Amino acid sequence: QVQLVESGGGLVQAGGSLRLSCAASGRTFSDIAMGWFRQAPGKEREFVAAVSRNGGSTNYADSVKGRFTISRDDAKNTVYLRMNSLKPGDTAVYYCAGSQTSATGTYYYRKYEYDYWGQGTQVTVSS
């Protein structure tokens, strides 16, 4: 089992930045592909960003491309989501997720491809 704990959420004005962190424990972090999803009130949980096990491949939702950056630090068992130029539409609970996989260079963007989920962290962007 893998435990994931997000942090770094909060209230920020439009145009501002935040960096979310997700600390993993319980298994070898480098064996796990990681992703970020978000869920706004009344909406489905949606894909935001993903990174492969080896950190060499990343993918982003069109809505965040160019503004958000996902990265991982295997020495710290942590994945990050740097969010710049935030908009009110980015307001949501952000969840990190982990996918146990043998593929080192593959990212995943479908919810069912993930085995582990954090409890979420709230991001609120005011206009």
Can you give the pLDDT of all 127 residues of the chain as single tens digits? 899 999 999 999 999 999 999 999 987 899 999 999 999 999 999 999 999 999 999 999 999 999 999 999 999 999 999 999 999 999 999 999 999 988 999 999 999 999 999 999 999 999 9
- How many angstroms separate the Cα of 111 from the Cα of each of 38, 66, 68, 75, 127? 11, 22, 19, 26, 30
Distance CA 97, CA 114 (A): 6
Per the structure block, which two tokens stand in for 73? 């630090």
CB contact at 8 A, 40 and 120? no
pLDDT value for 26: 86
pLDDT value for 92: 98
